[in-house]
Structure formats: C-alpha cells, structure tokens
C-alpha cells in the first residue's frame, strides 16, 4: 500500500479543500464557557412598565404619512366591512297558542295535544327569530290541532256520559 495515498478516496465532486476539512478535527467551541472560568456576566433585566425612551421617538411603531408607498410593498387595498343583518323579535308577535296546546294535551286529546304543542313551540321560536311567515304558519296549524283535539275530547266525553246514563237506566 502506498503511504502517500489515503485508504479511501473522497466522494465524487469534492475538491482537495473539502476532503481535508472532512478529516480535520472540529473547531473549538467558542460559545461555551471554558471549565473553571464560569459564565460571562449577564445583562441586567429590563424593568417593565415604562419602555425605553430614545431621542426624538415616541412609543411603538414609527408613524408614517398616510398614503405613502414604500418600495416592494403592494398597492393600498381598501377593505369594506361586511355587515350581516339578523332580524330581531317581531314587533307584533303572532299568537302561539301554547297554553291552549297544554290544556288540549292534558285534558282533551293527548296525541293531538302533543302535536299542537310542538307547533306552538315552533311558532314561539319563529316569533323570537323574526320569521313572520313561519310563525303564522305554525300558529295556524297549532290552532287547528287544538280545535280538533278539543272537539274530539268534548265529543268523547259527551259520548261517555251518554253511554254511562244509558247503561245505568237499562
């Protein structure tokens, strides 16, 4: 083996300078303290509450004149705010027939009373949101169901009374 040649050739594309740096020891670490010398003195902490004052400058970012264009900055863009309008509660709310629905559900006809109660709650929510058409539609349906449920309840009660009277006489 030739002592002038190294055991391994440097990778392709490396110059002699890169090859010599690859086998050189790493440089000494200058950032770390040397043993026995301790750490370098630390800067005094800044007292918060009042930022440092510099001659002729105020607080915060420097103020630039309006409309001034700086090199490399895009053109000024005007952004318009977006306004979303939401309707509030109706000024003249539609009748929701909630008490009537509860009465129909408890005293007359349970299935129709439950349906009427659902439509009554829907009419109340539509009143609160400001949906006039939805409130009127739910209110009409709740009223119809309440009238039908009350009619069925009164009709069944009258038939029950007639049946009881006829059976007790005969």
What are the tokens at 137? 């539609």
Rounded Cα gap, residues 137 and 127, in angstroms: 11
Q: Is residue 112 part of a domain?
A: yes
**How is residue 30 annotated by DSSP?**
S
pLDDT at 78: 76
pLDDT at 138 over 60: yes
Q: Mean pLDDT over residues 102-111, rounded?
A: 94
Q: Is residue 162 part of a domain?
A: yes
- C-alpha torsion 14→15→18→23, nearest 10: 90
Using CA atoms, how far residue 109 sits from 17, 96, 101, 112, 113, in Å, is 100, 19, 10, 6, 6
pLDDT higher at 23 or 80: 80
Q: Is residue 8 part of a domain?
A: no
Rounded Cα gap, residues 152 and 4, in angstroms: 116
pLDDT at 154 over 70: yes
Q: Is residue 108 part of a domain?
A: yes
Q: Is residue 152 part of a domain?
A: yes
In this structure, are residues 169 and 125 in contact, taking their beta carbons and an 8 Å threshold? no
Q: Is residue 147 part of a domain?
A: yes
In this structure, are residues 136 and 96 in contact, taking their beta carbons and an 8 Å threshold? no
**How is residue 108 annotated by DSSP?**
I
Place of tokens 């739910």: 138
Structural domain for 102, as ranges: 98-169
pLDDT at 167 over 90: yes
- Which of 9-18, 61-70, 121-130: highest mean pLDDT? 121-130
In this structure, are residues 113 and 149 in contact, taking their beta carbons and an 8 Å threshold? yes
Q: Is residue 130 part of a domain?
A: yes
Encode pLDDT of 85-99 as tens digits: 767 777 888 999 999
pLDDT higher at 155 or 27: 155
Rounded Cα gap, residues 30 and 47, in angstroms: 31
pLDDT at 84: 75
pLDDT at 155: 96
Sequence-ordered alpha helix ranges (H) in 15-80: 16-22
Rounded Cα gap, residues 159 and 151, in angstroms: 12
Within 10 angstroms of residue 148's Cβ, the number of other Cβ atoms is: 16
Q: Is residue 136 part of a domain?
A: yes
Encode pLDDT of 8-52 as tens digits: 565 666 566 555 555 666 666 555 555 555 566 666 665 565 555
Number of structural domains (the chain) is 1
Angle at 26 (CA atoms; ends 25, 29), nearest 5 degrees: 140
User: Whole-number mean pLDDT of the chain?
Assistant: 77
């Amino acid at each position: 083996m030739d002592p002038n040649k190294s055991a391994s050739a440097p990778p392709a594309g490396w110059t002699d300078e890169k090859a010599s740096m690859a086998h050189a020891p790493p440089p000494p670490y200058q950032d770390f303290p040397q043993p026995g010398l301790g750490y370098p003195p630390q800067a005094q902490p800044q007292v918060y509450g009042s930022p440092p004052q510099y001659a002729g400058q105020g607080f915060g970012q420097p103020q630039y004149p309006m409309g001034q264009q700086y090199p490399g900055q895009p053109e000024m863009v005007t952004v318009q705010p977006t306004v979303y309008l939401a309707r509030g509660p109706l000024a003249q709310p539609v009748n929701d027939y909630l008490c009537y629905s509860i009465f129909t559900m408890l005293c007359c006809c349970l299935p129709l009373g439950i349906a009427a109660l659902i439509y009554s709650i829907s009419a109340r929510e539509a009143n609160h949101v400001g949906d006039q058409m939805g409130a009127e539609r739910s209110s009409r349906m709740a009223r119809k169901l309440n009238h039908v449920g009350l009619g069925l309840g009164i009709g069944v009660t009258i038939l029950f009374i007639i049946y009881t009277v006829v059976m007790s006489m005969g």
